[in-house]
Structure formats: C-alpha cells, structure tokens
Chains A and B, each alone.
Chain A
Amino acid sequence: MMETQVQIIIAIILPIFAAAGINLLGPWKNLREIWQVICAIGQIAIIYTIYAGHNAAENYKATLFDILPGIDIGFKVEALGLVYAGIASVLWLVSVIYSAGYMRFKNDAHQTRFFIYFALTIAAATGLAFSCNLITMFIFYEMITLLTYPLVVHDATPEAKRAGRVYLGYLLGASMLFLLPAIAGIYYLTGSMDFKSSGLYFMPDVNPWTITGVYLLFLFGTAKAALMPMHRWLPTAMVAPAPVSGLLHAVAVVKAGVFVIGKVTIYIFGADNIEIGYSLKELILFIVAITILFAGIFALRESSIKRRLAYSTIVNLAIIILAFAMLSKAGNMAAAAHMVSHAMGKITLFFISGALMLTLGINYVKECNGMARKSPMLFICFLICSLSIIGLPYFAGGYSKELLLMASREEGLRWILYLLYASMLLSIGYLLPISYRAFLRPLPANAEAVKKGGKLMKLAILIGTALTLCYPLYERFITAMLEKVVI
C-alpha cells in the first residue's frame, strides 16, 4: 500500500504525464484519444484509492517546496478536496470522450494543443483540491486561470481574444486585488495559513467586522465563483468551444471558485467555531442572495442558449456559496452536495448545447422550435438535466436543494426557503422554454437536415444524463463521502 503523500503527488503528476503523452501521440488521433481515456480512468482510480485509504486521524502532509519560513507548497487530503478532485476526475473522463467527438466533428486544426491544456488544467485542479495551506491554494488557483486562458481563446477570432482579455482581467485582477490581501490579512490576524480541521484561532479581541470584511474579500476575490459584480467574465467566455464551456462552467474553473470559498469557510474560519454574530452573517447571506435573484432575472433576458446556461451557473454557484456562508455543518453538507449535483447536470447541458450547435446549427432559444422531432435523444437528455438543475425531487438537484432547505431551517433562516422558491421559479422560466419549444412548437418549414456523426458526443451526453438520472442509486455513497466533510 502506497503512502498517502505519494498518492497525492501521483494524482497531480498523472494529468501532466497525460499531457506529455498527448503531445507525443498528437499525429495519431485514435491512439491519442485512447491514451487520454486510459489516463482519465487512472486518475479516477487513484482518487478512489486516496479516498479508500483516507483516515482523518492520520493526516500526513506532503511538502514540495519550502518558500519562506511558515510558507510552503504542500498537500494534504481532506474530505471537501476529495469531493472536488473526484468530480474533476470523473468529468475529465466524460469531457475527453465528448471533446474527441466534438473536435473531430468540427475538424479542428489545433486538437492536440487543446487536449494538452485540458489535461494540465485537471492537474492544477487536483493540486488545488489537495492544497494544505492558503498559499498553495492561491498558486494552483492562478494556474487554473492561466492554463484555461488558451482554451478560451482557442478559436483565435478577435471576439475570442477580447473574451480572453476580459477573462484574465476579471480573474487575475480580482485575485490580486482582493484574494491576496485577504490571505495576507488572515496571516496577520492568526499568524498561520494552514488549513486546520477546526479553523484557525482568531484572537478574541479581533473585531467581528474585521473578520466579516476579510470573509467578504475572499468571496469577491475568488472571481471564479462569479459572485456579482464579479460575474461578467463568465457569459463573455462563452465564445470558447463547447467542451471548454463545459469544463469551465461545471468543473475546473467555477467549481474551483466555490471550492476555494468552501475550503476557506471550513478550514480557516472554522464554520461552527467562528463567532461573528447573527446580523453580520445575515449581511453576508443577503449579499449572496442578491446574485441568486438578479442572475436568474438576467438569464431570462438572454437569447443565446450558452449565455443563458452561463447565468444559470452563476445562480447555482451563488446557491452553493449561500450554503457555505450559513457557517454550519448542515450548510457545508448541502453545499458540497450541490457542487456534485450541479456539476453533473450543467456539464451535460453544455455538451448538449455544443452538439445542438454542430449538428442542428442551433445557437439561440428561438431556433429550437420543433427540433425535438429531428433529434429526440438530445432534447430528452436536455429536459432531464434541466429538471435536475431546477431541483425537481428525485433528480440530483432535488436532493441537494432539500439538504439546503433543512440546513436553513436549522439555522432559523426562514427567508432562504422563499428565496429558493423564487430561484426555482426563475430557473423554470429560463430553462424549460427550450424544451417546450423543441417538443411542442411546430417545426419550421425551412428547417435544415441533421448532420450525421458525432457518436462520441452522444455517448458522453448519455453518460452525463445517466449520472444525473441515477443519482438516487449512488446517493448513499456520496452522502457517506460528504459526511466526512463535516469534521
């Protein structure tokens, strides 16, 4: 049995190794894709091994570099990180299958480069998942930004370049402006930057307003979590190819943002232990609630399917932050569950939107009329995932929203119930019209024929839908994993 430290290092190095292999196998497309699938399965296996061998009692740390006294680059296993790394590895496999289909269908010129950055992003995400202190977390957080930049500007159109600049400007700018000072502030207030299971020790004489201020710096500094007004990069980055949008908006980038917030909430502020008073906590929750409502309203105005999905992502990210910001065990649990359920549903929705664009030429909602007759499978999957995102019971999203409601009741925050109802109504408003038009409106007379091909894309979409649909079957496994989050 390998030691945990070694396993973590392997989990981070394996995708880098995969990227090197992709580079070598570039000219032979089939070999390259088989190699990627093997690596992705290997990644899932190694994450599972870490999970199986994880024992909260003996938590070893693997230190790579010792930058300064008290500042090092090191890794440690903890439950929330396992959840995030698990999502990343499973969805990497699905994304690889989908991207292979997508890129071949499009006959893209720079496929190898695309897959290399894809794999490297997974490496950075795994590093982020297991980071043991704020500085390691910060480094990998920035790495994800830099590594996904070439993916956003992949098409190299002027529009893509402009989007790339907005992307970098928001993410790097916010992290330098707010996140780094927040980290320095934590170091100044507590003298440490390590993630501790019960949170760091704040002096009793530290003003609760100061702690709230630092927490808000974290919330706005992680622009990847797209809390308003830091959200604008996300719809803009929609010019990227569909697999990237899937990766950005379901796994690596946005989940990295909420994961950072979760990790900081649990292991720095120490969800249950921190005392900032009821009114300050409600202030934070109100700030998050604004995003939930307004992003939902903005989504209604968008006519492009991908941009609409992007705003829906902003809403769901804010819901996850809301759950973390309740600063309770039940809240953390709900947040982690929603991270999982939303990731699976949303990545599939993005996959479908990419497939719709390629095979049927659909970019906008109004173009969906009657299209279900042409491609029933895609639209049935779209409907299932939409229902999960909306939060219908017995779908993945339903379970996590239920946990959230229980958590809010425990904390005595009744208004969150109404907030969630409102957001569900809004999400019905912006997601279901697509299915309604596709299934119930007549097909326009001049509709073009379906382009053949894209079997791999459809396979990935089916896997994604199955993961969403079968959630009740493995719900117990996820819950068991999540219960470890609450130490």
Chain B
Amino acid sequence: MLKDILSNIPALIIAIPMFFAPVVAMIPSTSKFMRVIIWQVVNLCIGLMLAGATYLFIIVYQTGPFSYFFGAWSPPVGIEYEATKLNTLLMLLISIVAFVLLPYARSSVETEIKHKKTGLFYAVFLLLVAGLMGMVITNDIFNIYVFLEISSLATYALVAMGPDRRALTASFNYLIVGTIGGTLFLAGIGFLYILTGSLNISDISYQLGLTPHNKVEVAAVSFLFIGLAIKCAIVPLAGWLPRAYQYAPGFVTAFIAAVSTKVALYLLAKVFYVLFGKDLALGEYAFESILVVLAVISIFYGGIAACMQTDFKRVLAFSSISNIGYIVLGIGIGSRAAVTAGVLLFVAHAFAKAGLFVVAGISKNNVRGLRDASPLLAGFLVLFGLSIIGVPLTFGFIPKWYLLLAASGLNGWIQVVSFIGIIGGSLLSIVYVWRLVELAYTASGREPIKIGYYSTSTLVTLAILTIYFGASGSPIAGYVSELAGEFAK
C-alpha cells in the first residue's frame, strides 16, 4: 500500500489538490467555525503536497532524475511526468510558499473575501496550485498547455475576487491578454506537432535534431516565446501585471507574485534549453541577444516605473517586472553561472516579494508612518527590501553575485548591456526601496496596527528563510549550480 502511494507520488501531487478543490467548495462557509474548518482542510491538502514535493526532492537528490508514465502508457503515446533536479526544486518552492502563506490567508481571506464565497475561493486557489505544479512536472507540451489554462483561469477568478471593484477590470484585462498568450502558445504547439507528430518534449527535441532546420521551427519557437512572454510579464508584454497585483486580494497577490511568473519563466527556459537546445535557440535563432535586450529593458522599465509610483503595491508590482528582467537575463546569457543566478533568483525573489506583499496586505496598502503603526512590520519591510536590493547577508545578494560573475564571462556589446542592466537595476531598486522605507520611518501619527499570530508566523518564516540562505548560501548555491550545469548543457 505505502509502496504504491510512494511510487505514484508524481501523479498524486496533482491529483490531491484536484480532489480537495470540490470538497472545499462544498463545505458551507456561513459560520466562522466552518470557515476555520475549510482553512484547516486546505492546510491539510497543501501539507500533503509539501510532503510529496519534499519526497520527490529527496529521491532526486539521492538517486537522480526519473520519469513517471501516466497510466503506464509509455511516451510518445502516453503522458510522461518527470522529476528532475530543477523541477523538484521548483515544486518544493511552490508548496513551501503556499504553506508558509496559508497562516496569513486566514486573516486576509476573512477580511477581504465575502464570507459565503470562502469555500469557492480556496477551491480555486487549490486549482491554481494544481495547475502550477502540473506545468512544472509534466514533460508533455500539450499537457503543459492544459495546466497553463487551469492555472490562468484560476488566477483570473482569484484576481476578480479582490475587495476593490477595479479588481474586475484588472481581471478582465488579464483574461484577454492571458488568453491571447495561451492561444499563441497553443499555435506554437500546433507547429511542433505538424513537424514531428509528437507532443512529448524529449521526443520532439530528438526529432527536431534529425531534420534540417526550417521556417516552421522558427515560427514555432516564436509563437511559444511570445505566448510565454505574456505569462512571464516580459516588457513590452507586462501591462497586465501591475493592475492584477494591485487589486487582487492580499493573499493572492503574495502567492502569484512569488511563484506564478516563476513557473512561466521555467517553461521559457525549458523551451529554449530542452525543447530546441541551447545552441539552436540562443545561438542560431539569436534569442540570446533578444532575451538580453528585452531583459535589460524590463529591468529599467520596471525599476523606473517603480520609482514613480505612489501606491505601495504598485511599487512592488513594478519591482517584480524588474526582477523578472533579471531572471530573463540569466536565461538569455545561458552560461552555467547565469542559469544558477536565474534559479536562485526564483527562490530569493519568491521569499522576499511574498514577504513584502504580506506587509502591504497587513498595512492596508499604506506604507506611510508604518513605524508608528507597527515597528515589527516596518522592520520586515526593511529586511525584505534589502533582499530585493541584493545586500550581502540577505538571500537577494547571492543571485546578483552570480549574475555579475556571468556577465564578467561575456564578450562584446552583450557584456556591456548586461552590466548596465545589472548595476542600473540595483541602483533603481535602492531608490524605490528607500522611498518606501523613508515613508515608513519619517511620517508619524498613525493608528497602531494589530497583527495576528498567524500572519506574524508567515512573516517570521519568510524572514528566517531570507536570512538563513543569505548567511550560508553555499549548500543551496552549490546544488543549484550543479543542476544548472546539467540543465543548460
């Protein structure tokens, strides 16, 4: 029995939230007691997923990557799930972030979501997590599209549930743009299917190597890239992001800002490195220069826009665009150090940005005079802000350091542009973080904010993770560097 469960964990990790979602939706949420029950059930579900992700991570760490055939149908006919070093790390990240944010969800959902919709809210949230997990674990490109749609639809619904009425237009805007992105991605899959007659990524990659390169391939990679660029929020396709982050409920913003775009970025890297191969995609199709230029534009656009915002959450949202630019830069450069930087930034940025959005949520999106209202909250603002800047001894420093190393190893104009991007982005991040800190510490005379124990535990955990990995990053950096070497061959 136990052996059967353990051997089917790659499937169960998707099946568990899909099973729990309707269960949660069916529990009536009229009384406070029932809402706590719902929250407990969601905790149980995410806890099981965390256990599963940890198990997969350990197995891969000990014995190396393995494949799982759905229903024992072997590819290219059946659907293949694979557990590699990179995607188990990402699954672990998604489930940790979800698990750590849930305590905060308790108060956030209670105050921001209509009580009778609590069950539905959590059901949609579980579907979102299932979709993200599915996109990461599957090795079948059509399956990726299915999970992409599941997670996108869930995100539209969650954003629309925001307490402000403008959440509806933000969600609708995101829905239109996101659907276009999904459609373009699907078109790219269609081209690949025409070329190879297969949907399994490893199989497509193998078959592409057999035939001479042609225009259809270029069309396919372009469609996939633009479709994913919308999901990743790479400038100029990032217009949906600030409003969606601003008006979504606090808990949703913290979660999607931490992991949603990261999963899309992972897919982008997978399309370039695994599906087409690094030499072909980055070299022959010139995506190295395209990605580096777009990345630097994203870094500057996000940073400059963040410096000009007056709304707390919008500053953080534009800062996300800037940080996405850093990750795209890592993917675009494509050396081992660069990919290490990108993957480490997945993790570092997830912790810091989730923490900042929790601070924004608790402070009612108002940073002015935060020190008077709650010195603890202001302290967390400074800590996570320092990690976003990339100050040594916080986690944010480590990816920046690897990016600088990666840029040192480049040649020609790409090196110059990368250096300008990395350093310029850091300077801009100092400005926008400092604006927040200055507002929090200089304005005075604000009513005290009471933070519950649950929300505090979320913030403390994120802070401990940020400081721990910042102070002793050697183990994680070593592991990521190893997997980056395998991933970006």
**A residues bordering B, Cβ < 8 Å?**
65-69, 71, 73, 135, 138-139, 142, 156, 161, 168, 172-173, 176-177, 180-181, 184-185, 187-188
Question: Within residues 199 to 228 of chain B, which ones have a CB less than 8 A from any CB in chain A?
Answer: none
A142 B391 Cβ-Cβ under 8 A: yes
Q: How far, in angstroms, from A71 to B405 measured CA to CA in the complex?
A: 13
Q: How far, in angstroms, from A139 to B397 measured CA to CA in the complex?
A: 11
B474 A188 Cβ-Cβ under 8 A: no
B419 A181 Cβ-Cβ under 8 A: yes
Residues on A with C-beta less than 8 A from B430 are: 172-173, 176
Query: Can you name 16 extra interface pairs (CB under 8 A) apart from A184-B404, A188-B405?
Result: A65-B472, A67-B393, A67-B470, A67-B471, A69-B474, A69-B477, A69-B478, A73-B471, A138-B392, A139-B391, A142-B391, A172-B430, A180-B423, A180-B426, A181-B423, A184-B408
Residues on A with C-beta less than 8 A from B442 are: 156, 161
B474 A67 Cβ-Cβ under 8 A: yes
Residues on A with C-beta less than 8 A from B473 are: 67-68
Q: Tell me the minimal C-beta distance from B87 to chain A in angstroms.
A: 24
Residues on A with C-beta less than 8 A from B172 are: none
B401 A71 Cβ-Cβ under 8 A: yes
B474 A168 Cβ-Cβ under 8 A: no
Residues on A with C-beta less than 8 A from B404 are: 180-181, 184
A73 B408 Cβ-Cβ under 8 A: no
Residues on A with C-beta less than 8 A from B397 are: 67
> With an 8 A cutoff between CB atoms, is B15 at the interface?
no
Closest residue of A by beta carbon distance from B435: A165
Q: Tell me the minimal C-beta distance from A230 to chain B in angstroms.
A: 15
CB < 8 Å: which of B426, B427, B434, B474 contacts A68? B474
Show 5 residue pairs from A and B whose CB-CB distance is below 8 angstroms, ordered by the A residue: A67-B392, A69-B474, A71-B401, A168-B434, A176-B427
B392 A176 Cβ-Cβ under 8 A: no
Question: Within residues 424 to 476 of chain B, which ones have a CB less than 8 A from any CB in chain A?
Answer: 426-427, 430, 434, 442, 470-474
Closest residue of A by beta carbon distance from B472: A66
CB < 8 Å: which of B392, B423, B470 contacts A135? B392
Q: How far, in angstroms, from A135 to B391 measured CA to CA in the complex?
A: 11
**B residues bordering A, Cβ < 8 Å?**
391-393, 397-398, 401, 404-405, 408, 419, 423, 426-427, 430, 434, 442, 470-474, 477-478
CB < 8 Å: which of A67, A139, A173, A180 contacts B472? A67
With known contacts A67-B471, A176-B426, A188-B408, A73–B393 Cβ distance under 8 A: yes
Q: How far, in angstroms, from A185 to B470 measured CA to CA in the complex?
A: 22
Q: How far, in angstroms, from A172 to B397 measured CA to CA in the complex?
A: 15
Q: Tell me the minimal C-beta distance from B338 to chain A in angstroms.
A: 14
Q: How far, in angstroms, from A156 to B426 measured CA to CA in the complex?
A: 28
Closest residue of B by beta carbon distance from A136: B392
Residues on B with C-beta less than 8 A from A181 are: 404, 419, 423
Q: How far, in angstroms, from A142 to B419 measured CA to CA in the complex?
A: 21
Residues on A with C-beta less than 8 A from B470 are: 67
Q: Tell me the minimal C-beta distance from B255 to chain A in angstroms.
A: 29
Q: How far, in angstroms, from A188 to B423 measured CA to CA in the complex?
A: 17
Closest residue of A by beta carbon distance from B471: A65
Residues on A with C-beta less than 8 A from B434 are: 168
- Secondary structure class of chain B's binding surface, majority of residues: helix
With known contacts A65-B472, A69-B477, A139–B393 Cβ distance under 8 A: yes
Residues on A with C-beta less than 8 A from B477 are: 68-69
Closest residue of B by beta carbon distance from A71: B401
Residues on B with C-beta less than 8 A from A177 are: 423, 427
Residues on B with C-beta less than 8 A from A142 are: 391-392
A66 B393 Cβ-Cβ under 8 A: no
Q: Tell me the minimal C-beta distance from B300 to chain A in angstroms.
A: 15
CB < 8 Å: which of A65, A67, A176 contacts B423? A176
Q: Tell me the minimal C-beta distance from A15 to chain B in angstroms.
A: 18
Q: How far, in angstroms, from A224 to B213 measured CA to CA in the complex?
A: 57
Residues on B with C-beta less than 8 A from A73 are: 393, 471
Residues on A with C-beta less than 8 A from B423 are: 176-177, 180-181
Residues on B with C-beta less than 8 A from A139 are: 391-393
Closest residue of A by beta carbon distance from B404: A184
Q: How far, in angstroms, from A168 to B423 measured CA to CA in the complex?
A: 17
Q: How far, in angstroms, from A66 to B469 measured CA to CA in the complex?
A: 10
Q: How far, in angstroms, from A173 to B434 measured CA to CA in the complex?
A: 12
Q: How far, in angstroms, from A168 to B437 measured CA to CA in the complex?
A: 13
Q: Tell me the minimal C-beta distance from A262 to chain B in angstroms.
A: 22
Q: Tell me the minimal C-beta distance from B195 to chain A in angstroms.
A: 42
Q: How far, in angstroms, from A138 to B401 measured CA to CA in the complex?
A: 13
Q: How far, in angstroms, from A135 to B442 measured CA to CA in the complex?
A: 31
Closest residue of A by beta carbon distance from B426: A176
Q: Tell me the minimal C-beta distance from B152 to chain A in angstroms.
A: 37
Closest residue of A by beta carbon distance from B475: A66
Closest residue of A by beta carbon distance from B382: A146
Q: Tell me the minimal C-beta distance from A85 to chain B in angstroms.
A: 21
CB < 8 Å: which of A65, A69, A135, A173 contacts B427? A173
Q: Tell me the minimal C-beta distance from B404 to chain A in angstroms.
A: 5
CB < 8 Å: which of A67, A173, A180, A185 contacts B398? A67
Q: Tell me the minimal C-beta distance from B227 to chain A in angstroms.
A: 36
Closest residue of A by beta carbon distance from B400: A180
User: Nearest 9 CB-CB pairs, A to B?
Assistant: A188-B408, A65-B471, A184-B404, A139-B392, A176-B426, A67-B473, A68-B473, A68-B477, A66-B474
Q: Tell me the minimal C-beta distance from A117 to chain B in angstroms.
A: 13
Q: How far, in angstroms, from A177 to B424 measured CA to CA in the complex?
A: 8
Q: How far, in angstroms, from A338 to B470 measured CA to CA in the complex?
A: 38
Residues on B with C-beta less than 8 A from A135 are: 392
Q: Tell me the minimal C-beta distance from A181 to chain B in angstroms.
A: 6
Residues on B with C-beta less than 8 A from A65 are: 393, 471-472
Q: How far, in angstroms, from A181 to B416 measured CA to CA in the complex?
A: 12
Residues on B with C-beta less than 8 A from A138 are: 392
Q: Tell me the minimal C-beta distance from A430 to chain B in angstroms.
A: 35
Closest residue of A by beta carbon distance from B398: A68
Q: How far, in angstroms, from A135 to B390 measured CA to CA in the complex?
A: 13
Q: How far, in angstroms, from A181 to B427 measured CA to CA in the complex?
A: 13
Q: Tell me the minimal C-beta distance from A153 to chain B in angstroms.
A: 8
Q: How far, in angstroms, from A180 to B405 measured CA to CA in the complex?
A: 12
Q: Tell me the minimal C-beta distance from B313 to chain A in angstroms.
A: 24
Q: How far, in angstroms, from A247 to B392 measured CA to CA in the complex?
A: 25
Residues on A with C-beta less than 8 A from B471 are: 65, 67, 73
Q: How far, in angstroms, from A180 to B390 measured CA to CA in the complex?
A: 12
Q: How far, in angstroms, from A68 to B344 measured CA to CA in the complex?
A: 12
Q: Tell me the minimal C-beta distance from A75 to chain B in angstroms.
A: 15
Q: How far, in angstroms, from A188 to B470 measured CA to CA in the complex?
A: 22
Closest residue of A by beta carbon distance from B430: A172
Q: How far, in angstroms, from A161 to B443 measured CA to CA in the complex?
A: 12
Q: Tell me the minimal C-beta distance from A260 to chain B in angstroms.
A: 15
With known contacts A66-B472, A67-B472, A173-B427, A184–B393 Cβ distance under 8 A: no
Q: How far, in angstroms, from A181 to B419 measured CA to CA in the complex?
A: 9
Q: How far, in angstroms, from A417 to B419 measured CA to CA in the complex?
A: 41
Residues on A with C-beta less than 8 A from B478 are: 69
Closest residue of B by beta carbon distance from A135: B392
Closest residue of B by beta carbon distance from A153: B442
Q: How far, in angstroms, from A69 to B442 measured CA to CA in the complex?
A: 39
